[in-house]
Amino acid sequence: MVVAVLAALAAVLLAPASAHADTGSASRGTVRHGLSQPDYSYADAIREAVWVDTGLDGDGDGRTDRVAVDIVRPSEPAAAGRKVPVIMDASPYYSCCGRGNENQLKTYDAAGKIVQAPLFYDNYFVPRGYASVLVDLAGTDRSDGCVDVGGPSDVQSAKAVVDWLNGRGRGYSARSGGHRVTAGWTNGKVGMIGKSWDGTIANGVAATGARGLKTIVPISSISSWYDYYFHQGAPLQDGPEWLSDYVESDSAHASCAAAQQKIIDGSPRTGDWTPFWTARDYVKDAGKVTASVFAVQGMQDLNVRTKHFGQWWQALAAHGVERKVWLSQTGHVDPFDYRRTDWVPTLQRWFDHYLLGVDNGIQKQPMADIERTVDHWTTDRVWPPAGTHTAALSLTPSATDGLGTLGTKHATRGSTESFTDDPNLWEEDWAAAADTATPAKTAFTTGVLTKDLRLSGGGTFTVTATSSTTSAHLSAVLVDLGPATVRNFLGNGEGIKTLGTRSCYGESTPGDSACFLDTAADTTTGDHTVFSRGWADLGHYASLAHGVPLVPGKPYTMTIQLAATDHVVPAGHRLALIVAGTDGGLILPPDTTPKVTVDLAHSVLRLPLVGGTGALSVRAGAAPRTTAAAADGTTAFRPAPAPSGTPAARLG
């Protein structure tokens, strides 16, 4: 048996003082210091495959689809007649792409029973009295049906399994035919977990109000698929048909042409909101969520951006859902790979409470853990923290065109700033030249801060602008101007580097090791940090339902949503708002190359500041350095490279 010494130590150290030293009952094994103990053998666990009927016929073959469900569960409770809860990860990635930092795939023995279950959930939690359930979404791996990219088929793939686990669905011993199989071994309490698409499905199932789903742990997960492909009309990447084609099994490729065409027809690249997106919007159904939610998000995730977390969190809060959050400085990274020794016991305590009923106080602990600087975490009792209020900041011009001031003073009527869209540049180019007048952006900065300024939540930028052409895309970027060492979220590891050593979490078998490659923070030091951004197509100023051609020279007003974050701009630094066109590598350019003029008197930045407007305190007379651009628009600053690959290619 290989047991993680570090995890065990962390479990003891992090146990709440009020937790009972030990308990036991007929429904669970030993509990010590508020945590379930590894009483059961992973080597002797029961491994089985079941195919669950979804009630849908996505591939149109005349029979309802069955999704493959691989199960690893402890044998001892089954022999004693005790029922166990379920930790479930429903994924499209088990055969095409792999899960986790090591891209683990499912493997099987000659009888078709699972040998390697990716990630540590089975190794760690099965000995502690849980069943690990891994579901292949419809159209992937060993499942029937077709991938529909977050739509009814995807969600029903997992919901049908929750229903089966609670005695409401039908399971079979084979993909076609076989005998009926029931889940009499479980108490029906299900927790769903997963990163990216996997966690997205957890959001989707929770939004159906599925009975028996007690908690979800979505990690860097989508809350509305429109917002993955567009941001207020501005296209972020190619359409969803690419993604469905990428994960579909060979058999699905052969039978899902009609379903693929429906995806293409339902998601035109116009940026218009269609019924296709309504069916993939989980935020609107947040009122149906009865499961608790432990959300995890990388604040520098440029793949599944923090808008997804922010709008989901806000909707859950409005409906009183029990929730918790971890916010890291990483990109699209699992907490197992940036805070492992804290993550595992915290996750265990969460599951123990909501699935085993252990009274360990997890729900009373601080709601939010936030990575304030690299590997340094702070907590908040609630999030956003008490005292957070929206502050309105105005934009005023300076003596240098293209540069202005951000503060509480209002611009005079008729004040404007202009820029010309340049799709070859992106936010890092703009931020590096924040104090330099360049043709492709305009920047507004505060004076030097005399005290820390904390932003907590999602802001907005209401802009009144005219375009010289019939189309224009807008970007609004918040920048912390000042030296800092941060996680290198633009690097290959998106803020982590993988080491050659391993640490173990749970028990191993010859085919499924509980030992995973260790990681460490990958850091970089610079003179600026982009920490929030938002984009929009000005043609969608009136409605997402239908974009319109712009009338050149006519002013339009639009409010751009800025991604949720929690960032402290330290005293001695400055806060900047950069307004520009195409954020190269992150949004696609419009079909024209406009010159955009911003009406400063009718534009306003609203930010969630801890302490409200009074928290903004700047040093009097501290003017930023300004530099004129060269004739070709270049500056002495060295721009960072644009991110490689499209977000679609990096979803997992």
Instruction: Name the residue among 512, 507, 505 with its Cα closest to residue 6.
Output: 505
Catalytic residue (choose from 143, 196, 249, 532)? 196
Which of 33, 231, 332, 528 is flagged as catalytic?
332
Count CB atoms within 10 A of the CB of residue 498: 16
**Pair 100, 334: CB distance under 8 Å:** yes
Q: Which of 141, 301, 435, 599 is catalytic?
A: 301
Task: Give which of 397, 434, 393 is closest to 418, Cα–Cα.
Answer: 397
N residues, the chain: 652
Q: Comparing C-alpha atoms, which of 462, 442, 634 is closest to residue 541?
A: 462
Q: Which two tokens stand for residue 240?
A: 């969803």
Around 501, how many Cα atoms within 13 Å sit in the side-chain half-sphere? Answer: 4
Q: Are strands 627-628 and 436-437 parallel, antiparallel or unpaired?
A: parallel
Please, is 245 exposed, middle or buried when counting C-beta atoms within 10 Å of its C-beta (0-12, 13-18, 19+)?
Answer: middle
Neighbours of 177 (CB within 10 A): 8
289, 237, 297: which is closest to 589 by C-alpha?
237
Looking from the CA of 531 toward its CB, the CA atoms found within 13 Å total 29
3-state secondary structure of 253: helix
Instruction: Report the C-alpha dihedral over residues 632, 638, 644, 650, rounded to 10 degrees.
Output: -120
Given a contact cutoff of 8 angstroms between Cβ atoms, the answer to whether 452 and 482 are in contact is: no
Q: How far is CA 407 from CA 32, 86, 543, 557, 576, in A?
A: 54, 52, 30, 20, 10
- Chain centroid to CA 225: how far? 12
- For every residue of 517-577, which 3-state class applies, written as one string? EEEEECEEEEEEEEEEEEEEEHHHCCCCCCCCCCCCCCCEEEEEECCCEEEEECCCCEEEE
Beta-strand runs (E) in 247-364? 292-298, 323-328
Helices (H), 166-305: 197-206, 226-229, 240-247, 250-255, 257-266, 275-278
Active site residue 332: yes
Contact yes or no for 587/231 (Cβ under 8 A): yes
Alpha-carbon 126 to chain mean position: 27
Beta bridge partners of 520: 497
- Give the residue among 133, 10, 28 at the shortest CA–CA distance from 358: 28
Sign for the pseudo-dihedral over CA of 272, 277, 283, 288: positive
Phi and psi at residue 433, to the nearest 5°: -115, 35
Check residue 623 and report its DSSP letter. P
Q: Is 154 annotated in the active site?
A: no
Structure token digits, residue 243: 């993604």
Spatial contact of 402 and 598, defined as CB atoms under 8 Å apart: no
Number of helices and strands in the chain (H, E): 13, 36
CA angle (10 as vertex; 7, 15 as ends), nearest 5: 125
Q: Which residues are catalytic?
A: 196, 301, 332
